[in-house]
Chain A
Amino acid sequence: MAHRIVGQRFGRLDGADKVTGAARYSADVTLPGMVWGKALRSPLPHARIVRVDASRARALPGVLAVLTAADVPDLLVGRRMFDMPLLARDRVRFVGEKVAVVAALDPDVAEEALAFIEVEYDELPAVFDPADAIQPGAPLVHENPGAYHGAPAERPHANVQSVLRFKLGDVDAGFREADRVFEHTFRTQLAHHGYIEPHAGVIALDEDERVQVWASNKMPYRLKELLSHALELPPARIRVNLTPIGGDFGGKGSLMDLPLAYHLARVTRRPVKMVMRYTEELMAGNPRHPSVVTMRTGVTKDGRIVARRATALYNSGAYAAFKPAPSVNLGGTSMGAGVYRIPHLLLEGFCVYTNTIPCGHARSPGEPQMLFAEESHMDMIAKELGLDPVELRRRNLLRDGDALANGHHLEHVRATETLDAALAASDWAKPKPRGVGRGVAMGHRHIGVGFTNAQVRLETKGTVTLTIGLPDTGTGAHLVLRQVVAEVLGLSIDEVQIELATTDLFETDSGVGGSRVTHTGGRAAFHAAEKLKEQIHAEATKLGTPDASFATIAQAAAREGRTLEAVHFYDAKSHAAVTSFTAQVAEVAVDPATGQVTVLRFTTAHDVGTIINPLGHQGQIEGGLIQGLGFALMEELQTAEGRISTLSLGDFKLPTIRDIPPLTTVIVEDAVGPGPFRAKAIGEGSISPVAPAIANAVADACGVRIVDLPITAEKVYFALQDRKGRS
């Protein structure tokens, strides 16, 4: 079916405020009488707090309050598992944990005051490596994590936060069917999301003693619930006001400093702003979990995979509080199966406590980790079998009717078509010069689920206002929702405005994340618009003028004191039987003298549903892909003994405009998604296969297999030297 508005390439009509500087992000919110909060953080990875003396800081001119654990309620917070104190009480568990917090009239004074807080520590034995942490006798990060609210039941060791397991068939029997068995181990690094906006929040108590919140948080309704618990206040006393968010990528869903800002506001009777310095982000944000992944695969002589066991050890850090899923684990663990039909499968993810930075969710949580291992492993198996890596993949790709280990069932499988599209566009079969290699990798990503409200109202001038509770994280979702409403109601894009509700308007909403908004927000907007359309028709019929303009209809209703409006609450509980495949080809050159890897060109092919806005869609592909490139080649929070040494964006390298390779994107469109007009999702589709595609290309170019990310020149150089030495 042809659409008028859906499928049109609209620019960011919703973004005039962003190019003029008028957009007010949380850090820009300024209120009369507002003061600044700053946190003092632990310099030690594991220690008993012997004494805190804030008296000298309290006496500084301009300082209004200093709070320590003794001044805030003794409760634990989290997104799913509640194991984190508001301020460290008796004990610190990682370098960067908050110990005290200051409110001052001026941000610089607040920061200065931190130096006047005296804390005496008694250092405790610490554990940093997840493999060490699960040994008998390892130092315990928490004595009894099973007692925490939201803690999963299974706990093979007190330092295990959670175990996530996916199974198909009988893996032991499967390995007995195999002619050959291969096992390899891979490592991925600790990496921050790299959003340019550090966490920021403003809290004010209004004249009704309601808590007004402005925060860089993408799930306002969940935030309200979490705050209600953390502040020990009924939800009705809390209002979250939506602000644009300066990049999320999975990182902006927790409470972060908000409870402390509240307590400072309560004590000082002033609005309080807390903005993290980027250094604090890098030492105590909620970055992507580092992993150690062991892949073991049984294959028949003709290259059919019959069994696989994949085990991921995730270094989760000192608290589980940042993980939002009920499993308190990373769903991406299921990607240990890759895009393949494997009859006997056991995939396990262990989230392990250590005395390091607590980790959280990051764009397609767990998938870049698992797919780096899985898709590198596939090429290593192909090499051992003497098979072409593409051929090994082809023989094992998922097909219609297959079930995934996470319980999803698949139809409309376009794995082969997507692979073929990437190969064709990348000139896969063409000869290449010496020192140049090509690598392929695949992945797939679900279409997210959740629940969202949309309200539509016909204005007397004949336009429509769409009200939603989803903040703008930058994806362009607001424009997509306007397009959906305009399409349904036969309006132009300019005739649909968007209005953001505070958390007072709706009951609940799952917010932004997990590749869900086009689906859940889109369907909510679609159905609300359909309802409004019916009302408009009924009204026109009543007026006796079936083709009356929207303005006439709205005005007629207004004369009777009525407004035409409709609300829809869309709740997608289970995943549709579709997914989105990605196939990517990296072409790289390796400099034998330095080990430097240059990505010469990159091809990405995506199996997608109806594209609502091609510009925004492509933007998601490109943005995710370059994050994948950074993860592959440069991003790493380097740590030693629990201390992160890359504490600025100068040391924690993100890709720059000069790092982007020539890119070819291929779209395999198949209108079968669960979203409005059969859309799927795209936000998390491009990031995960990038690293293994590059690793496979490096191996093809110079014969060196890098099994730990990032693939730095240094690692490639030493691996080349090593190989020379051996031959």
Chain B
Amino acid sequence: MIRLTVNGQAHELDVPSYRTLLDCLRYDLGLTGSKEGCGVGVCGACTVLLDGKMISSCIALAVFADGREVTTVEGLAEDERLHPVQQAFMDAGGFQCGICTPGQVVAAKALLDAIPHPSEAEIKEWMLGNLCRCTGYYKIVESIQAAAGQARA
């Protein structure tokens, strides 16, 4: 039996010890926003925040999240209002197919929490673990820059 809080909601559930946090979110809790791409901690499609820190949920076990707080892409918007990062990704073409986007916006939110006005180099350093095959990344950089500007205003 593990207890974890996901996007502010407390859960108690029985999971097999081998269950990954990603499968626990997607399968046991029905939160399919986080995606599985590579499954080995490389692509970032499964990025979530664990106690505010960015992790690849595909290589973390669910039991590891026991007693902790998880934020997924479903938890970014507040009261139907998109997080500035989400809005910026829409406005600036930060996604195409969108499969990497849950991970990208979670990672970008964590970036702006840590560094509110990142330089281009800081953006690239932070986002290194989030692969995108559609956009060629230019518009991801622009989206994050736009979100940072928005937060500043």
Which residues of A line the B interface, CB within 8 A?
11-13, 15-25, 27-28, 30, 106-108, 193-198, 244-249, 275, 277-279, 472-476, 615-616, 618-619, 622-627, 648-650, 654-658, 660, 663
B24-55 interface code vs A (CB 8 A; 1 in, 0 out): 00110011111111111111010000000000
A659 nearest CB neighbor, chain B only: B137
Which of A30, A195, A198 is in CB contact (< 8 Å) with B133?
Answer: A195
A278 to B45, CA, bound (A): 12
B77 touches A20 (CB 8 A): yes
B98 touches A28 (CB 8 A): no
B124: Cβ under 8 A from any A Cβ: yes
Chain A residues contacting B105 (CB-CB under 8 Å) are 19
B21: Cβ under 8 A from any A Cβ: no
In chain B, positions 80-119 with a C-beta closer than 8 Å to chain A are: 82, 86-87, 89-93, 95-102, 105
Chain B residues contacting A196 (CB-CB under 8 Å) are 35, 37-38, 43, 45, 97, 99-100, 131-133
| Shortest distance from the beta carbon of B84 to any chain A beta carbon, whole Å | 11
Interface centre among A16, A19, A244, A275 (most CB of B within 10 A): A19
B151: Cβ under 8 A from any A Cβ: no
* Interface contacts beyond A196-B97, A278-B40: sample of 9 additional A-B pairs, CB < 8 Å, sorted by A: A15-B90, A28-B26, A475-B96, A619-B96, A622-B138, A626-B136, A657-B130, A657-B140, A657-B141
B96 touches A623 (CB 8 A): yes
B57: Cβ under 8 A from any A Cβ: no
Interface centre among B27, B72, B131, B134 (most CB of A within 10 A): B134
8 A-B pairs, CB-CB below 8 angstroms?
Answer: A194-B133, A196-B131, A198-B37, A648-B38, A648-B39, A657-B123, A657-B124, A657-B132
A623 touches B135 (CB 8 A): yes
A473 nearest CB neighbor, chain B only: B97
Closest 10 CB pairs of A and B: A21-B33, A474-B97, A246-B99, A18-B98, A626-B136, A474-B96, A622-B136, A28-B32, A21-B73, A649-B38
A615 touches B76 (CB 8 A): no
B149: Cβ under 8 A from any A Cβ: no
A13 touches B90 (CB 8 A): yes
If A15-B95, A20-B86, A619-B96 touch, whether A30 touches B37 (CB-CB below 8 Å) is no
A197 to B36, CA, bound (A): 7
Which of B26, B38, B90, B93 is in CB contact (< 8 Å) with A618?
Answer: B93
A18 touches B37 (CB 8 A): no
| Shortest distance from the beta carbon of A20 to any chain B beta carbon, whole Å | 6
A11 touches B93 (CB 8 A): yes
| Shortest distance from the beta carbon of B118 to any chain A beta carbon, whole Å | 12
Interface SS of B by simple majority? loop
A17 to B77, CA, bound (A): 12
B16 nearest CB neighbor, chain A only: A108
| Shortest distance from the beta carbon of B74 to any chain A beta carbon, whole Å | 5
Chain B residues contacting A650 (CB-CB under 8 Å) are 38, 40-42
Which residues of B line the A interface, CB within 8 A?
16, 18-19, 23, 26-27, 30-43, 45, 72-74, 76-77, 82, 86-87, 89-93, 95-102, 105, 123-125, 127-128, 130-141
A247 touches B134 (CB 8 A): yes
A19 touches B95 (CB 8 A): yes
Chain A residues contacting B73 (CB-CB under 8 Å) are 19-21
Interface SS of A by simple majority? loop
A660 touches B98 (CB 8 A): no
If A20-B73, A196-B131, A650-B38 touch, whether A107 touches B23 (CB-CB below 8 Å) is yes
| Shortest distance from the beta carbon of B110 to any chain A beta carbon, whole Å | 15
Chain A residues contacting B77 (CB-CB under 8 Å) are 20
A474 to B90, CA, bound (A): 13
A616 to B133, CA, bound (A): 15
B82 touches A16 (CB 8 A): yes
A106 to B43, CA, bound (A): 24
A12 touches B93 (CB 8 A): yes
A19 touches B90 (CB 8 A): yes
If A13-B90, A20-B74 touch, whether A108 touches B19 (CB-CB below 8 Å) is yes
Chain A residues contacting B93 (CB-CB under 8 Å) are 11-12, 615-616, 618-619
| Shortest distance from the beta carbon of B12 to any chain A beta carbon, whole Å | 19
| Shortest distance from the beta carbon of A641 to any chain B beta carbon, whole Å | 24
If A196-B132, A623-B136, A626-B137 touch, whether A19 touches B92 (CB-CB below 8 Å) is no
A277 to B133, CA, bound (A): 17
A625 touches B136 (CB 8 A): yes
A246 nearest CB neighbor, chain B only: B99
Chain B residues contacting A278 (CB-CB under 8 Å) are 37-40
B133 touches A247 (CB 8 A): yes
A195 touches B138 (CB 8 A): no
| Shortest distance from the beta carbon of A686 to any chain B beta carbon, whole Å | 9
If A11-B92, A21-B34 touch, whether A657 touches B98 (CB-CB below 8 Å) is no
A623 to B45, CA, bound (A): 18
Chain B residues contacting A657 (CB-CB under 8 Å) are 123-124, 127-128, 130, 132, 137, 140-141
A7 to B20, CA, bound (A): 46
| Shortest distance from the beta carbon of A265 to any chain B beta carbon, whole Å | 19
